[in-house]
């Protein structure tokens, strides 16, 4: 339904990264620290957008942020943490957007609701395809932290809330976490694939996506 739809957990991956610490090194309590973290994250997003994953490195991020590498490492234990934080932040934005959309769906039909969610997803992915793709990439690669998990659950919860609204027209077994997850996965797959190929959403993407979602929800 949106850019950064993720799996709910992918535990057994990455043999080469034994004990990553994906959490920010310290909670920046103070105003100034908070601002620095923001600056760094913004810079990271810019670098990812402009240079893609291949050109993404901590020195560059620090430089773009106008901060020393040392400072970067003050707030992020390592590169992965930085990426994780970036993903976390995007997930946050995404979860909010989905929750908003779901709220707006109250009273609408199932089809109209799905349409709104489909549009949101397309919108998110196409707003900044390089960035979105890069994050998706990393998301799949990273061991997932608790913060991230919480966002995904929020995302899943929002979708379930949406499904609840229409439980009268849905098969009973469809109002479930797994359904929410599948819908998110399908959405991401279709939207991402198109976004890799064309700079603007093809006209029929919306229709095809809707078909996939509706189909999944209504199939026997």
Which residues contribute to the site for a second copy (CB under 8 A)? 7-17, 50-55, 130, 133, 137, 140-141, 178, 181-182, 185-186, 188-190, 193, 196-199, 204, 208, 211-212, 214-220
In this complex, which beta carbon is closest to DNA, that of residue 26 or of residue 167? 26
Report, in Å, the least distance between residue 30 CB and a second copy. 13
Q: Is 53 in the site for DNA (CB under 7 A)?
A: no
Binder to DNA among 23, 78, 128, 130 (CB under 7 A)? 78
Coil, strand or helix at 24: strand
Cβ 80 vs Cβ 39: under 8 Å: no
Which residue, 88 or 136, is less far from a second copy as judged by CB? 136
106 is a site residue for DNA (CB under 7 A): no
Going from the C-alpha of 8 to that of each of 4, 54, 75, 152, 157, the distances in angstroms are: 12, 27, 26, 6, 12
Q: Closer to DNA by CB, 55 or 177: give it.
A: 55
Please report how close the Cβ of residue 195 comes to DNA at its closest, in angstroms. 25
Interaction partner, residue 130 (a second copy, DNA, none; CB < 5-8 Å by kind): a second copy
211 binds, options DNA, a second copy, none, Cβ within 5 to 8 A by partner type: a second copy
- The radius of gyration of the chain from alpha carbons, rounded to an integer in Å, stands at 18
Report in angstroms how near the CB of residue 16 gets to DNA at its nearest.
Answer: 9
Q: How far is CA 80 from CA 18, 68, 70, 88, 141, in A?
A: 13, 18, 16, 12, 10
Q: Report d(CA 160, CA 209) in Å as an integer.
A: 18
Contact call for residue 45 and DNA (CB under 7 A): no
Q: Are 75 and 37 in contact (CB under 8 A)?
A: yes
Binder of DNA out of 68, 109, 196, 218 (CB under 7 A):
68
List the end-to-end C-alpha distance of the chain, in Å, as a whole number: 22
Contact 124, 63 (CB under 8 A): no
* Residue 95, Cβ density class (10 Å: 0-12 exposed, 13-18 middle, ≥19 buried): buried
The single residue among 23, 33, 128, 130 that binds DNA, judged by CB under 7 A, is 33
**C-beta separation of 212 from 204 below 8 A:** no
Q: With binding defined as CB under 7 A, does residue 59 bind DNA?
A: yes
**Whose Cβ is closer to a second copy: residue 58's or residue 214's?**
214
Residue 107 is a binding residue for DNA (CB under 7 A) = no
> Is position 162 an interface residue for DNA (rule: CB under 7 A)?
no
């Amino acid at each position: 339904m949106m850019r950064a739809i993720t799996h709910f957990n992918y535990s057994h991956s990455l043999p080469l990264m034994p004990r990553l610490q994906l959490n920010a090194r310290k909670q920046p309590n103070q105003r100034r620290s908070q601002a620095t973290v923001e600056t760094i994250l913004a810079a990271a997003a810019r670098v990812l957008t402009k240079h893609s994953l291949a050109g993404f490195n901590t020195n560059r991020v620090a430089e773009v942020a106008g901060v020393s590498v040392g400072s970067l490492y003050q707030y992020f234990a390592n590169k992965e943490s930085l990426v994780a934080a970036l993903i976390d932040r995007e997930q946050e934005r995404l979860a909010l957007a989905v929750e908003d959309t779901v709220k707006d769906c109250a009273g609408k039909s199932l089809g109209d609701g799905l349409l709104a969610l489909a549009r949101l997803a397309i919108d998110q992915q196409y707003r900044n395809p390089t960035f979105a793709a890069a994050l998706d990439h990393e998301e799949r690669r990273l061991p997932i932290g608790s913060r991230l998990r919480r966002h995904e659950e929020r995302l899943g919860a929002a979708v379930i809330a949406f499904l609840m609204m229409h439980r009268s027209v849905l098969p009973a077994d469809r109002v479930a976490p797994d359904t929410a997850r599948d819908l998110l996965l399908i959405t991401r797959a279709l939207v991402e694939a198109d976004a890799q190929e064309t700079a603007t959403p093809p006209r029929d993407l919306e229709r095809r996506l809707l078909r996939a979602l509706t189909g999944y929800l209504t199939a026997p």
